[in-house]
C-alpha cells in the first residue's frame, strides 16, 4: 500500500519532468556556496526519497549530496534568518491535515539541520627567536646525508628528524630511511588553510585528485590569504621532497593533498564532505586545528561531522578506515584539557601532543586521558624547520601542537607504506605498543594493566618511527571492533565541595561483555550530564575495575560557564587492554569551596574494543541513527547491574611533594592525584547497600594491591609489617571511621530527604523505553539525536558567550601581570622541573596567545 502510493506519486512527478534523471553529483562537482545570499540545509532522507521532490516541496535548491554520507543532501534557499525546514516540519506536526503524500514526504526526512557558519582555529604558536645550537654531532649528520643522498640545505636544522645536539631527541627515523622506507604509495591529506602546490619543495609530491578548496569552492586549495601559510608548513613536515630546496619531510616519498577549510567560515555539511574527501585515495587526514583552546570552550563536532568521521573509519581506505590525526591543542597554559574538545577526544582520531627538542613538555601542549602519543615541536628556544609558501621558501618557526600532528601523520605514512593493510585501530595499537616514555620522572606516569605506561600529558609516550615501523612489519591484524553500551545511570546527587567527591559505579559482568562479543577493551567513553554554577570547578576521575584511574575531566580556572556538562562524552585510552569486567566508577570532585555548586545528573559508559568472534562483528551505526534502533545490536536482555551505590570520598589535598617513582613496579596501579582515604556511603535506597565498601573502589584496591610496598601513604606508621597487613590494619580503622561517619551522614541525608519532602531521591536505571532501547542498541533515537545535534551545533563556538560576570578567580589579575615574555626562560626551566600548575602562561598576553597562528 505504502509502496504503491509512493510509486504512483513518483511516476506522476516523473511524467511532469520534475524528477530529473541526473546522476549523483560527486564531491568533485560541488557547487560554490554563496553565504551572503543563501541559507543552507543538510537533510538526511530515507533511501527512496527523491531530493528534487523534497526541494520542490520546501522551495529549496538541491545543491547535491553531502560527500560520502549516504542519503545526506545539501539544499539552499534565499537567505532569511528563519529555519524554514524546522518551521515547516513543526507546522506540519501541528496541523490536522494528513495525507499519504505529506506523510511520505515528511516521513522521509530523517535528519534536518540548518547550517551555521563557524571558524576553526589553527594550532600554531608564535615563538621566541632561536639560538644556534653549539656542540653538534656533525659526523653522523654528514654520514647520513651522504648515504641517503640528502642535499636539502636546511636538513642541518631539522633536529626533529636527526638531532645532532640533544642526542636521542628526534623521531628516530634515519634507520627507517636507510631501509628504503620513505612513505611510498601513501597519501596524507593536510586539512588546513591550503598548501602551496607550486612550491619546489612540494610540487612533486602534490596529489591533485585528493585536494579541494572548501573555502573558495575551487579544485585547487592554493593559499590565498596572507596568513594561509600553516597548511604549507604542515605539508612540508610530511612530504617535502628530497631535493635541493629547504629540508625533507619525514616521509619524503609520500604524496600530500590539500583540503582547505580554515581560511573562511564553513558549515558542518562542508566540513563533513571535507573529512571524507577522496577517502580511498587520501589515507591519512592531518588536522592541526579545532575549537578555541582558551580553557573555556567545550565544543564538539556537529552531528554531520561525527557521522563523517564514523563513515570515514568504516568505509574510507576501502574499508580499512581513514586515519584521522588531531593536534591535542595549545591551551595547557590556560588550564585547557583535550577532553573538552570533541575532535581530540573522539575514539576515531589519534590525538597527538608535543614535546620540545630537549624532550620537555612545552607550556602549550594539552593533557588529557584521550592523548595517544606526543612528538616533537617548538619549545626550548627552537621550533620545527620546514617548507613555507613560495617557490623556494623555508620556515624555521613552525610550532605548537600544530606542528606535532603532521609529523605523526608522516610517521604513520611510513607505517602504512610497509603495511598498507593495517586498519585504523591497528595503527592505534601500534602507538600504544611502541611509544617511548619521555620525562620518566613525571609523577603522572602510571603502569596500565598491560604493562605499558600512560601519562595524561604524553599519552603512551613519544612516537619512535623506527620502533613503530619495525613493529608494524610483523604486526598481526586485530579483529574488528566491538562495543558495550551500558544503560544510563540516573544519579541526581549534589556534588560536595572541598576534598570530598562523590563516587558512582556501574557494574559490568563477564556475561554482558560476552554477549556484546567484546574480548578486550581499547577506548572507554563516558557520557554525562552534570549541572554546575561554575563548570571549571568540577573534575572527574574514572576508575576501572583494576584500579586504573583516568582523569577524564579536569578543573579549568577560566571556565566560568554555568552550563555544566550537557551530554558530554569524555574519552580515555588509558584502559587499553583491560578486560573490562567489574565496577567502573566515576568520582566527581568540586575542590573549590565557594558559592558555586552543582549536581551529577546521570552518566553512562561505553567500552570499545576487539570482538571475540569475527563472524559476529558488525559496524556501529552512525551517530544519531534511529533506523538501527529497531534492530538492536545486543538483542539479549541486559543484566549488568547499575547500582545505587553513591559514595562520597574524602581526598588528600593534592600536594606538590614528589611522589615515589614507580618505574620498577609493573602493574601497580599507583595514582598520584586521587589518594582515596575514606569511603562513606551517604545515600542508600535499600538496606543491602549500607554494607561496607566491599564493592567500592577502596576495598577492591586494597585487595588488588597485594603486598606491594608504598600503597599506604608514607606518613602513616607501618608497624613494621607487610603491606597487606598494613592494609588490613588501616582497613579496619577506616571501616570503624566509616561506620560512624556513615551513620551520621545517613541520618543527615534522611533528614534532608524529609525536608525536601521528596521520595524520589533514588538512583535508578532510566526506564524510558527509548533510552533503554537506545543504549542497548548502540544508537539513540534518530529524532532525539537530530534535535540534540541541532542544539549542540548552535552552542558550538558560542561558548565564549558564557557568563563572565561570575566571580572570577581571585588570582586572575596577578596572573595577567605574571604573563611576561621576559619570564620565558625562567618559566621554561620551571616547566622542566615539572612545577607547571598550568598557572603560568608564557610569552605575552592572552590575546597574543589566542591569535595562535599569527606567526
Ligand atoms: C632508533 O632506531 C635504531 C635503529 O636505527 C634502533 O636501534 C633504536 O633502538 C631506536 N631507538 C629506540 C628508542 O627504539
Ligand atoms: C607501490 O605500489 C606499486 C603498485 O601497486 C607497487 O608496485 C610498489 O611495490 C609499491 N611500493 C612500495 C614501496 O610498496
Ligand atoms: C544499520 O547500520 C548498519 C551498520 O552501520 C548499516 O549497514 C545499515 O544500513 C543500517 N540500517 C539502516 C536501516 O540504516
Ligand atoms: C542527551 O542525549 C539524548 C540522546 O542523544 C537525549 O535523549 C537526552 O535528552 C539528552 N539529555 C540532555 C540532558 O540533553
- Is the distance from the beta carbon of residue 177 to the nearest atom of ligand 1 less than 6 Å? no
Query: Which atom of ligand 3 is nearest to 631's Cα?
Result: 1
Report the pLDDT averaged over residues 647-668.
36
**Is residue 585 helix, strand or coil?**
strand
Instruction: With a cut of 60, say whether residue 706 has pLDDT above it.
Output: no
The answer on pLDDT for 30 being more than 70 is yes
Catalytic residue annotation: 192, 230, 402
Residue located nearest, by CA, to atom 1 of ligand 3? 628
- Look at the block and give the residue holding cell 558512582: 504
> Span 203-224, mean pLDDT?
97
How far is 112 from 658, CA to CA, in rounded Å?
54
pLDDT digits (tens, 9 = 90+) for 713-734: 444 454 544 555 555 665 667 6
Which helix or strand (DSSP H or E) is residue 602 part of?
A: strand 598-611
Atom of ligand 3 nearest to the CA of 314: 5
Check residue 710 and report its DSSP letter: T
Nearest CA to ligand 3 atom 11: 628
pLDDT single digits (tens) 362-395: 999 999 999 999 999 999 999 999 999 999 999 9
Q: Ligand 4, residue 771: give the atom nearest the CA.
A: 7
Q: Report the C-alpha gap between 745 and 68 in whole angstroms.
A: 56
Residue located nearest, by CA, to atom 7 of ligand 2: 185
Query: Could you tell me if the CB of 184 is within 6 A of ligand 2?
Result: yes
How many A from CA of 261 to the centre of ligand 3? 29
Q: How distant, in Å, are the alpha carbons of 78, 82, 447, 459, 508 from that of 437?
A: 56, 53, 11, 9, 32
**What is the reported pLDDT for 846?**
33
User: In this structure, which residue's CA is closest to atom 4 in ligand 2?
Assistant: 185
Q: Using most ligand atoms within 8 A of CB, pick from 185, 252, 280 the residue to mutate for ligand 2.
A: 185
Gap from CA of 282 to ligand 4 centroid (Å): 35
Q: Which atom of ligand 1 is nearest to the CA of 176?
A: 5
Radius of gyration for the chain, computed over Cα atoms and rounded to the nearest angstrom:
27
Which domains does the chain show, CATH number per domain? Answer: 23-114 (3.30.70), 138-476 (3.40.50.200), 482-624+631-721 (2.60.120.260), 733-853 (no CATH)
**Using an 8 Å Cβ cutoff, are 355 and 362 in contact?**
yes
Categorize the per-residue pLDDT at 28 as very low, low, confident or very high, splitting at 50, 70 and 90: low
Closest CA to 235 of 118, 406, 375, 86: 406
Q: Which atom of ligand 3 is nearest to the CA of 618?
A: 4
Q: How far is the CA of 323 from the centre of ligand 4 (A)?
A: 29
* Closest ligand to the CA of 303: 4
Proximal ligand: closest to the CA of 625: 3
**What is the model's pLDDT at position 802?**
28
Q: What is the pLDDT of residues 341-360, one digit of tens each?
A: 999 999 999 999 999 999 99
Mutate to test the pocket of ligand 3, among 45, 627, 629, 778 (most ligand atoms within 8 A of CB): 627
Give residue 735's pLDDT. 67
Ligand 3 atom with the shortest distance to the CA of 621: 5
Distance CA 151, CA 713 (A): 57
CA of 172 to the centre of ligand 1 (A): 6
- Ligand 1 binding pocket mutation candidate from 170, 179, 438, 466 (most atoms within 8 A of CB): 466
DSSP per residue over 429-472, as a string?
A: HHHHHH-B--STT-TT-EE-TTS-EEBTTTBT-B--HHHHHHHH
Q: What DSSP line would sit under 45-97, residue for residue?
A: E-TT--HHHHHHHHT-EEEEE-TTSTTEEEEEEE--SS-HHHHHHHHHHHS--
Q: Give yes or no for residue 163 CB within 6 A of ligand 1.
A: no
Task: For a ligand 2 pocket test, name from 183, 184, 419 the mutation site with the most ligand atoms within 8 angstroms of its C-beta.
Answer: 184
Residue 468 has pLDDT above 90, yes or no: yes
Q: State which H helix or E strand residue 569 sits in.
A: strand 565-572
Confidence of residue 793 (pLDDT cuts 50, 70, 90): very low
d(CA 554, CA 499): 14
CA of 186 to the centre of ligand 2 (A): 10
Mutate which of 168, 171, 172 for ligand 1? The one with the most ligand atoms within 8 Å of its CB, which is 172
Q: How far apart are CA 489 and CA 247, in angstroms?
A: 54
Give 207-216 pLDDT, tens digit per residue: 999 999 999 9
Residue 244: predicted pLDDT: 96
653 Cα distance to chain centroid: 29
Nearest CA to ligand 1 atom 1: 172
Q: Please give the grid coordinates belonging to residue 140.
A: 653522523
pTM of the model: 0.73
CB-based burial of residue 4 (10 Å sphere; 0-12 exposed, 13-18 middle, 19+ buried)?
Answer: exposed
The pLDDT confidence band at residue 828, using thresholds 50, 70 and 90, is very low
Q: What ligand 2 atom has the least distance to the C-alpha of 180?
A: 13
Residue nearest to atom 6 of ligand 4 (CA): 784
The pLDDT, as a whole number, for residue 732 is 67
Residue 577 reports pLDDT greater than 90: yes
Hey, whose CA ends up nearest to atom 2 of ligand 3?
A: 621
Ligand 2, atom 8: closest residue by C-alpha? 185
Reading phi first (left if > 0) and then psi (alpha if -120 to 50, else beta), residue 451 is in: left
Section 752-773 average pLDDT: 36
Give me the pLDDT at residue 100, please: 85
**pLDDT value of position 17:** 42
Residues at CB less than 6 angstroms from ligand 4 = 529, 566-567, 780, 784-785, 788
User: How far, in Å, is the centroid of ligand 2 from the Cα of 419?
Assistant: 11
* 175 CB near ligand 1 (under 6 Å): yes
Amino acid at each position: 500500500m505504502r509502496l504503491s502510493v509512493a510509486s504512483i506519486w513518483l511516476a506522476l512527478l516523473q511524467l511532469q519532468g520534475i524528477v530529473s534523471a541526473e546522476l549523483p553529483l560527486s564531491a568533485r562537482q560541488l557547487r560554490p556556496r554563496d553565504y551572503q545570499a543563501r541559507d543552507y540545509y543538510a537533510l538526511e532522507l530515507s533511501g527512496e526519497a527523491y531530493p528534487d521532490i523534497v526541494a520542490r516541496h520546501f522551495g529549496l535548491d538541491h545543491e547535491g549530496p553531502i560527500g560520502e554520507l549516504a542519503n545526506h543532501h545539501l539544499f539552499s534557499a534565499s537567505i532569511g534568518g528563519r529555519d524554514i525546514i524546522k518551521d515547516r516540519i513543526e507546522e506540519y506536526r501541528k496541523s490536522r491535515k494528513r495525507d499519504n503524500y505529506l506523510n511520505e514526504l515528511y516521513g522521509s526526512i530523517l535528519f534536518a539541520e540548518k547550517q551555521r557558519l563557524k571558524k576553526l582555529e589553527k594550532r600554531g604558536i608564535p615563538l621566541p627567536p632561536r639560538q644556534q645550537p653549539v656542540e653538534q654531532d656533525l659526523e653522523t649528520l654528514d654520514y647520513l646525508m651522504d648515504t641517503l643522498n640528502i642535499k636539502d640545505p636546511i636538513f642541518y636544522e631539522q633536529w626533529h628528524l636527526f638531532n645532532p645536539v640533544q642526542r636521542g631527541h628526534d623521531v628516530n627515523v634515519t634507520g627507517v630511511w636507510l631501509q628504503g622506507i620513505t612513505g611510498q604509495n601513501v597519501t596524507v591529506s593536510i586539512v588546513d588553510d591550503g598548501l602551496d602546490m607550486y612550491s619546489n619543495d612540494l610540487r612533486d609530491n602534490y596529489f591533485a585528485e585528493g585536494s579541494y578548496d572548501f573555502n573558495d569552492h575551487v579544485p585547487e586549495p592554493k593559499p590565498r590569504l596572507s596568513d594561509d601559510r600553516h597548511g604549507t608548513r604542515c605539508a612540508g613536515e610530511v612530504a617535502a621532497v628530497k631535493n635541493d630546496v629547504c629540508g625533507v619531510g619525514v616521509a619524503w616519498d609520500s604524496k600530500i593533498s590539500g583540503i582547505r577549510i580554515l581560511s573562511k567560515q564553513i558549515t558542518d555539511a562542508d566540513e563533513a564532505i571535507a573529512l571524507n574527501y577522496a577517502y580511498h585515495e587520501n589515507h591519512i587526514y592531518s588536522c592541526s586545528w579545532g575549537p578555541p583552546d582558551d580553557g573555556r570552550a567545550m565544543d564538539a563536532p556537529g552531528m554531520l561531522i561525527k557521522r563523517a568521521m564514523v563513515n570515514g573509519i568504516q568505509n574510507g581506505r576501502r574499508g580499512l578506515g581513514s586515519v584521522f590525526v588531531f593536534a591535542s591543542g595549545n591551551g595547557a597554559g590556560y588550564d585547557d584539557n583535550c577532553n573538552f574538545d570533541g575532535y581530540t577526544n573522539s575514539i576515531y582520531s589519534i590525538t597527538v601532543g608535543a614535546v620540545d627538542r630537549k624532550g620537555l613538555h612545552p607550556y602549550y601542549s594539552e593533557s588529557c586521558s584521550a592523548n595517544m602519543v606526543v612528538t616533537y615541536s617548538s619549545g626550548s628556544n627552537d621550533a620545527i624547520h620546514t617548507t613555507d609558501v613560495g617557490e623556494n621558501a623555508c620556515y624555521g618557526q613552525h610550532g605548537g601542537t600544530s606542528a606535532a600532528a603532521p609529523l605523526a601523520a608522516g610517521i604513520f605514512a611510513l607505517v602504512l607504506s610497509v603495511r598498507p593493510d593495517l586498519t585504523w585501530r591497528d595503527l592505534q595499537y601500534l602507538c600504544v605498543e611502541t611509544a617511548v616514555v619521555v620525562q620518566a620522572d613525571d609523577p603522572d606516569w602510571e603502569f596500565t594493566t598491560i604493562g605499558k605506561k600512560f601519562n595524561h600529558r604524553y599519552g603512551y609516550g613519544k612516537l619512535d618511527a623506527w620502533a613503530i615501523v619495525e613493529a608494524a612489519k610483523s604486526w598481526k591484524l586485530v579483529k574488528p571492533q566491538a562495543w558495550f553500551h551500558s544503560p544510563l545511570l540516573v544519579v541526581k546527587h549534589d556534588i560536595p565541595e572541598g576534598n570530598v567527591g562523590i563516587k558512582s559505579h556501574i557494574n559490568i559482568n563477564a556475561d554482558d561483555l560476552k554477549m556484546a562479543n567484546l574480548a578486550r577493551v581499547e577506548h572507554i567513553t563516558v557520557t554525562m550530564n552534570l549541572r554546575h554554577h561554575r563548570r571549571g570547578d568540577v573534575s572527574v576521575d574514572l576508575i576501572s575495575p583494576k584500579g586504573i584511574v583516568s582523569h577524564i575531566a579536569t578543573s579549568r580556572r577560566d571556565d566560568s560557564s554555568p552550563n555544566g556538562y550537557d551530554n558530554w562524552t569524555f574519552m580515555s585510552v588509558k584502559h587499553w587492554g583491560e578486560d573490562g569486567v567489574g565496577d567502573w566508577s566515576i568520582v566527581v570532585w568540586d575542590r573549590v569551596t565557594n558559592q558555586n555548586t552543582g549536581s551529577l545528573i546521570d552518566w553512562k559508559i561505553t567500552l570499545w574494543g576487539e570482538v571475540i568472534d569475527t563472524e559476529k562483528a558488525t559496524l556501529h551505526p552512525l551517530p544519531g541513527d534511529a533506523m538501527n534502533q529497531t534492530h538492536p545490536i545486543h538483542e539479549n536482555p541486559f543484566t549488568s547491574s547499575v547500582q545505587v551505590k553513591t559514595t562520597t570520598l574524602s581526598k588528600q589535598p593534592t600536594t606538590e611533594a614528589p611522589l615515589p617513582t614507580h618505574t620498577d613496579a609493573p602493574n601497580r596501579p599507583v595514582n598520584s592525584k586521587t589518594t582515596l582515604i575514606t569511603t562513606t556511603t551517604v545515600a542508600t535506597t535499600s538496606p543491602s547497600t549500607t554494607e561496607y565498601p566491599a564493592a567500592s573502589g577502596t576495598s577492591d584496591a586494597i585487595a588488588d594491591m597485594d603486598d606491594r610496598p608504598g600503597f599506604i601513604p608514607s606518613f602513616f606508621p607501618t608497624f613494621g609489617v607487610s603491606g597487606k597487613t598494613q592494609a588490613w590494619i588501616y582497613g579496619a580503622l577506616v571501616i570503624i571511621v566509616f561506620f560512624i561517619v556513615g551513620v551520621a551522614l545517613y541520618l543527615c541525608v534522611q533528614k534532608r530527604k524529609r525536608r525536601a519532602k521528596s521520595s524520589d531521591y533514588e538512583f535508578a536505571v532510566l526506564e524510558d523505553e527509548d533510552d533503554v532501547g537506545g543504549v542497548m542498541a548502540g544508537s539513540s533515537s534518530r529524532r532525539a539525536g537530530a534535535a540534540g545535534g541541532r542544539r549542540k551545533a548552535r552552542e558550538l563556538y558560542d561558548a565564549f558567550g558564557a557568563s563572565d560576570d561570575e566571580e572570577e578567580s581571585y588570582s586572575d589579575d596577578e596572573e595577567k601581570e605574571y604573563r611576561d615574555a621576559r619570564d620565558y626562560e625562567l618559566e621554561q626551566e620551571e616547566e622542566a622541573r615539572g612545577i607547571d600548575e598550568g598557572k603560568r602562561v608564557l610569552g605575552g598576553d592572552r590575546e597574543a596567545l589566542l591569535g595562535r597562528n599569527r606567526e
